[in-house]
Structure 1
Amino acid sequence: MNGSEVSGPGGDASVREGGAAALPQDPAFLASLASSLLASSPPAQSRLTTNPLTASPLDGGGAVLVYVDRDHVLRHADLRFAAVLDAEPADLVGHPLSDFDHPAIATLRTAIETVGQSPSRWSVPLDCLTAGRDGRRSILSGSVLAHRDADGETVGYLGTFHQTGDPDRIAEFVTCRDTFIATLLDAAVDGIIVSDRSGIIRSINRACCQMFGYDEGELVGRNMTILMPPPFSRDHNRYIDSYVKTDRARIIGIGRDTLGQRKDGTVFPIHLSVGQARLGEEMTFVGIIRDISDRLAAEQRATYLARHDPLTGVLTRTAFLEDCEALFAEHGTADGEAAGAGLFALFSLDVDQFSDVNEAFGFHVGDAALKAMVSRVMEVLPPNTIVCRIAADEFAALSRVTDGEHARTLAGVLHDRLTASIYADRHWVRLRLSVGAAVQDESVSTLEDMNAKAKLALQAVQHNGGNAVCFYTPEMAAAATRRMLLTMHLTHAIERNELHLVYQPIVDRHGRVRSAEALLRWSHHALGPVSPGEFIPVAEESGLIVPITDWVLATAVGQMSQWEDEGVLPDRVFLNISGQQFLRGNLTLRLEELLGRHPSLRSHLGLEITEQAAVRDLKVAVRTLGELADLGIQAAIDDFGSGYSSLSYVQQLPVAKLKIDRAFIIDVPDNPKNNALVRAAVGMAHGLGLTTVAEGVETAEQRDFLVSVGCDLMQGYFFGRPMAPEALADLLRGQGASSLG
């Protein structure tokens, strides 16, 4: 075979350019060559006979033959192989493979390189999709065998193939055996299935196998209904038949959400898109499948959160109103009541001073307490009660009750249960709870009517100190209207010059005036005098207390300056400071500004703050009081005993006086318990180096008792009512004159 001329059976020879000899095209020779190659292969491949005329693997016709030498030069190509390239054998023989740009040649080169790189490998399978000039596609399928001499040196390569135009084989190749397409399909995140017209799965990618829990071998060749739960699996073939016959799309070309079934039987939501393709005459369907379990779960979660509070799980305010209005429309009519359906009761719940729980224990404890509270609400109120969270610490509940008495009983039990100790995240917590309630009557036609009444009841209980239950009464509407009216007019009280200060004397045990307390009064041109007990809470709720307090500070300093000029300035003039003003952080700066023009008044100014304001933010209170002390301004705890009354905070506050609340003075000396409390308060204050002031002294017996227990100063109607600045000045002048006399 390495001579310059090779003779065949017919005695002819073929010599190519450059002296390279072409292999004879005698089939017997090629059969012998193939047989010898196979005979020299490993035992697994040596069972073929060497008789080229009786049992050659090339027998039977239809074989496509090509021979390539070790230098990758074509030495033989039969007519069939040349036809694959739309060429003649003479156009191919003698040319290196690199001269041709054709899928069959590229696949052949790859196979030759693969078998040539491994001396122990004898053959490599070859599959190639080709297309002729007429556009008809076919598959070239077979193998490339290494032709080696006795020493194992590779002499060349023999390719033996079969060519087929079978559409089934072509479809199988395209969908299953094309390396690029297989890689592309397996790279897809979505599941991809290719099936024939009858629904038999021809190809499936890795993502789809993982999605449904099968191996590829378990699905290829099976009907795709294996991936469908009933009734989809039952109706699938009918849908396909209908589409093929009528060309009306039911699934084809339309993406939709449906259900799939895994190997273990579990059913899960999928999005399915199906497209149609044709391979030759064969109809093929390609399905793209996406598992939408996470998407649906996220949508359901978003829908849930749109209607439910994420912490407690109860409804949001909007969802509560929607559900309750629907319930009202269905059952809340007079006919429903007459039929024995009962009445509705709406409970409005507000946790008093809930911020204290968060500040004392942390938000995690506060959250745990709220969740426990909601659980208790569900335990106490009747089944089918609708509960919602309106704000951070405010809730509402709509329940069915038999009558008003039933509603009152439920409210009492609910308050007792919710104010009992709660074990929240390793801490015991007791909540203070205000409950406002309204029961359905003839004046109630919508939920908003009931809600307005329940809110009025809640406001009423909070105005009275909170931590109690209050049911709506018609008088509450009038009170709410009055508060709104006061708020509106109070907004303009300063600019209309309707506010003024009066001063109540504070005396020592000998009855001499030592200091005075400035008290705010409001006289409206139409409403007349308005009680401080009425307008001060309104000012605090509306935020107007801040500018009003600022006006009080400026007015009092101005009056003190005038008294100083007249020589009748008391030792101290005390002003009441609201908690909002005290905790805002700019009180010291404001006083420095006011006293900058009157530095001598610093030692004559005093401020009174309530216990609640002092302990609301103890750190800020200590800092602010320290700054005031540095300015020479004295501070006093007002209404001591009415709130927390804890030595643990009193000893931390840089104050000079404790004012004992009038509630303890009113019954002395007749009430032994109050007597003991006053003695204890005086003794405690003196132990801390503080001066005591008793408020609300109205009788001589009260005065004598307070003197006997060592109370330092007293204040009350017995010594003088709140009076105009001129009257207090006259009182001090008279006191000075009598001392001179």
Structure 2
Amino acid sequence: MSRPGTEHIEILRGRTENPADPTRPETPTAAPDDALTWLRRSSQRFTDLLAVAPVGIGLFDQSERLVDANEALCRLLGYRLDQLRGCTADELGHPQDQTRSPRSGKGVLGPNANPKVLQRTLLRSDGLPVSCELHTGLSVQDDGSQFWLVVFQDITERRRQAEALHHQATHDDLTGLPNRTAVKDLLADYLAGPDRERTAVLFCDIDKFKRVNDSLGHDAGDELLVALARILESGVPPECTVVRLSGDEFVIVCSDITAVDGLDALSTRVSALLRTTVPVRGQLIRVSASVGAARADQPDSTADDLLRFADAAMFEAKRRGPGKVSLASPTLIASADEQLHMEGQLRDALSHDELELHYQPVVAADGSIVGAEALVRWPHPDHGLLAPGAFLPIAEQGDLLRKLDRWVLRTALREAAGWPNAGGGHARVAVNLAGLVPGDPRFVTAVSDALDESGIDPDRVVLELVETALVDLPAQARSAMHTLAGRGVSFAVDDFGTGYSSLARLKELPAQIIKVDRRFIAGIGGDPADFAVARAVVDMSRAMGRHCIAEGVETATQFHILKGLGIDGYQGWLFSHPVGPRELRAMLGTTKLRVPEAQ
């Protein structure tokens, strides 16, 4: 940097002679030659300070043109000082910097510039952008004219790290697509604009995706999701943004539905993209998706509303079968609103302990009650006593299954701890779990806490899990089950035969009880295939030392056929409907339930 003369000294320091100014540092009252020497040395110190400063420093006149700069600023921008002199603050900015003033030299450093610390993207001589924080200070010369002293601090790396963190927070790690956080921000922006009624959302759920995970493993499932993400990205119109919401759920956000020929056409196009065959681990996987779509045609619809309406439409499409498309109609939207209302009511019911349990007995072949399965009921203030089928989907969509399972588990164990002896022994209590599963890191703690709070003998507790929850269990989940089994807790495979595991894999399931699904029991008296399945399950269970329970036993014929096969326990309307806690206690006080005679 060139050494400034006396004029620059005055600019950099302000007035040098104003004895009446109480804020001015006191100067030595010495001879003129000594004063000049003092000024020169002061100027030299200031020049040296600018030269060694690690940050860029520039001096701008009233028109915001660069007058002088230190070497650090020249290195930062890649220019010589003579190339920088005369450039305005605006001209140093990158063309794509949105903070640049629309009129060169106006408003960047001027009196209206606010705040005093600005963030700007500047353009280097090699064309690369450099992000800077500008610390500005305004001073006055002897003649009253103003000048700007600006410190340029390079924050390129800091901004790069901040952008990386923001990208990580708003994008999916697996596919690189925007995530749930990003889609809500994007929708909020679209809905706040003048063309909000053109905004639309498509909710896509891959059909039977769990079968891929169960049969080929989760790595293969991830590979399939990445492939589908690329198919969607390359296949949707430019007005659309592809988002991975969670698991096997994708969302398409469209900013202008009229530009893509309407909601129906876009939904059909996306459904066709996802009806494809993808090579995964040397196998061709044929996939399809259920697609639900909603448009922002309500003036007060929020981002959450659009996602909820599209999600409800997707569930409607899924009910109609794989690969179907459904659009959110006024009736469906009204149903979704009612479901949201019931979700809030269910949360309150759980919080205020307003649910109740009924129990269906499990009997041995001689009619003695050996156990009972806890079945949750909701005494709804408007709809009466609701069975699980009416509110479990609401609990699932509202992420309440885990909380519901914990309530059922604690309540069932507390009530069962006080059951009377049944035929000389205590009946076992079975609790079906859907949200609180072995893979949950809080699984062991939740079950252990319920055992300790109730004081029940762990040998009397059976935790029922659907077959698909027990296939390909990770090591952590198996360890959790073994920990509880060590305390005496038993595990049952519920609805066996309806999942994706084969009979050969039965021996791998860490469960002591197998429950044959009611769908096979229903046809056992007339369908040879159902009889063959039931017999195979019983034979396999007996060979591996497992107990076998039949669900949905409703006729004497079914009972006697199953008895002939060697079933250990029977559950169904033939013996008892689900009953309340008081009725069950009365039943447990009897010796045996009536067993139908063979015909």
> TM-score range with shorter-chain normalisation?
0.5 to 0.7
| TM-aligned CA deviation for residue 659 of structure 1 | 0.6
Secondary structure (helix, strand or coil) at the match of 1:585 reads helix
Q: Which residue is 2:53 aligned to?
A: 188
Pick the aligned partner of 2:182 from 316, 319, 322: 316
Q: Which residue is 1:144 aligned to?
A: none
Residues 648 and 479 of structure 1: is their aligned pair in 2 closer, same or farther, counting only changes over 3 Å?
farther
Pick the aligned partner of 1:488 from 345, 366, 371: 345
Are residue 133 (structure 1) and residue 38 (structure 2) matched?
no
Are residue 477 (structure 1) and residue 334 (structure 2) matched?
yes
Cα deviation digits, residues 74-126 of structure 1 (max 9, x gap): xxxxxxxxxxxxxxxxxxxxxxxxxxxxxxxxxxxxxxxxxxxxxxxxxxxxx
Cα deviation digits, residues 455-483 of structure 1 (max 9, x gap): 43356679999998654352563376267
Q: What amino acid maps onto 1:481 in structure 2?
A: E
Query: Where does 1:400-415 land on structure 2 (aligned, <5 Å)?
Result: 400=257, 401-403=260-262, 405-415=264-274
Residues 678 and 189 of structure 1: is their aligned pair in 2 closer, same or farther, counting only changes over 3 Å?
same
Q: Which residue is 2:363 aligned to?
A: 506
Query: Where does 1:335-346 land on structure 2 (aligned, <5 Å)?
Result: 345-346=200-201
CA contact (8 A) 1:195 1:224 kept: no
Distance 1:481 1:574 in 2: 34
Q: Which residue is 2:23 aligned to?
A: none
Distance 1:721 1:255 in 2: 74
Distance 2:286 2:186 in 1: 24
Pick the aligned partner of 2:501 from 645, 657, 660: 645
Query: Where does 1:399-438 land on structure 2 (aligned, <5 Å)?
Result: 399=254, 400=257, 401-403=260-262, 405-416=264-275, 437-438=292-293
Distance 2:559 2:431 in 1: 24
Residues 554 and 436 of structure 1: is their aligned pair in 2 closer, same or farther, counting only changes over 3 Å?
farther
Q: For structure 2, list consecutive stretches of 5 or more residues without a partner in the other structure.
A: 1-28, 94-104, 438-442
Residues 468 and 635 of structure 1: is their aligned pair in 2 closer, same or farther, counting only changes over 3 Å?
farther
Q: Which residue is 2:203 aligned to?
A: 348
Q: Which residue is 2:387 aligned to?
A: 531
Residues 454 and 225 of structure 1: is their aligned pair in 2 closer, same or farther, counting only changes over 3 Å?
same
Residues 569 and 456 of structure 1: is their aligned pair in 2 closer, same or farther, counting only changes over 3 Å?
farther
Cα deviation digits, residues 52-89 of structure 1 (max 9, x gap): xxxxxxxxxxxxxxxxxxxxxxxxxxxxxxxxxxxxxx
Q: Which residue is 2:571 aligned to?
A: 715
Q: Which residue is 1:21 aligned to?
A: none
Pick the aligned partner of 1:207 from 46, 53, 72: 72
Are residue 290 (structure 1) and residue 149 (structure 2) matched?
no
CA contact (8 A) 1:460 1:476 kept: no
| TM-aligned CA deviation for residue 323 of structure 1 | 3.1
CA contact (8 A) 1:345 1:437 kept: no
Residues 445 and 518 of structure 1: is their aligned pair in 2 closer, same or farther, counting only changes over 3 Å?
closer
| TM-aligned CA deviation for residue 553 of structure 1 | 2.0
Distance 1:249 1:589 in 2: 66
Q: For structure 1, list consecutive stretches of 5 or more residues without a partner in the other structure.
A: 1-130, 140-169, 234-242, 333-342
Are residue 382 (structure 1) and residue 237 (structure 2) matched?
yes
Distance 1:276 1:686 in 2: 94
TM-score, structure 2 normalization: 0.63
Distance 2:120 2:269 in 1: 48
Of all paired residues, the percent bearing the same amino acid is 21
Q: Which residue is 1:636 aligned to?
A: 492
Residues 558 and 214 of structure 1: is their aligned pair in 2 closer, same or farther, counting only changes over 3 Å?
closer
| TM-aligned CA deviation for residue 692 of structure 1 | 2.1
Secondary structure (helix, strand or coil) at the match of 2:338 reads helix
Secondary structure (helix, strand or coil) at the match of 1:643 reads coil
Q: Which residue is 1:553 aligned to?
A: 413
Q: What amino acid maps onto 2:54 in structure 1?
A: V
Cα deviation digits, residues 164-202 of structure 1 (max 9, x gap): xxxxxx99x998xx6x666444312244679999xxx99
Cα deviation digits, residues 128-169 of structure 1 (max 9, x gap): xxx993459889xxxxxxxxxxxxxxxxxxxxxxxxxxxxxx
Residues 663 and 471 of structure 1: is their aligned pair in 2 closer, same or farther, counting only changes over 3 Å?
farther
Residues 257 and 500 of structure 1: is their aligned pair in 2 closer, same or farther, counting only changes over 3 Å?
closer
Of residues 547-556 and 460-469 in structure 1, the stretch that sits farther from structure 2 once superposed is 460-469
Distance 1:558 1:717 in 2: 25
| TM-aligned CA deviation for residue 557 of structure 1 | 3.2
Considering Cα pairs closer than 8 Å and 6+ residues apart, tell me whether 1 or 2 has the greater RCO.
2
Residues 663 and 292 of structure 1: is their aligned pair in 2 closer, same or farther, counting only changes over 3 Å?
same
Q: Which residue is 2:99 aligned to?
A: none
Secondary structure (helix, strand or coil) at the match of 2:542 reads helix
CA contact (8 A) 2:444 2:484 kept: no
Q: Which residue is 2:100 aligned to?
A: none
Q: Which residue is 1:325 aligned to?
A: 191
Residues 313 and 296 of structure 1: is their aligned pair in 2 closer, same or farther, counting only changes over 3 Å?
farther
Residues 188 and 371 of structure 1: is their aligned pair in 2 closer, same or farther, counting only changes over 3 Å?
farther
Q: Which residue is 1:398 aligned to?
A: 253
Residues 136 and 482 of structure 1: is their aligned pair in 2 closer, same or farther, counting only changes over 3 Å?
closer
Residues 703 and 447 of structure 1: is their aligned pair in 2 closer, same or farther, counting only changes over 3 Å?
same
Q: What amino acid maps onto 1:547 in structure 2?
A: W
Secondary structure (helix, strand or coil) at the match of 2:202 reads strand
Q: What amino acid maps onto 2:231 in structure 1?
A: R
| TM-aligned CA deviation for residue 384 of structure 1 | 0.8
Distance 1:655 1:595 in 2: 23
Distance 2:558 2:201 in 1: 47
CA contact (8 A) 1:679 1:709 kept: yes
Q: What amino acid maps onto 2:498 in structure 1?
A: S
Residues 210 and 553 of structure 1: is their aligned pair in 2 closer, same or farther, counting only changes over 3 Å?
closer
CA contact (8 A) 2:360 2:374 kept: yes
CA contact (8 A) 1:505 1:722 kept: no
Residues 461 and 570 of structure 1: is their aligned pair in 2 closer, same or farther, counting only changes over 3 Å?
farther
Secondary structure (helix, strand or coil) at the match of 1:645 reads coil
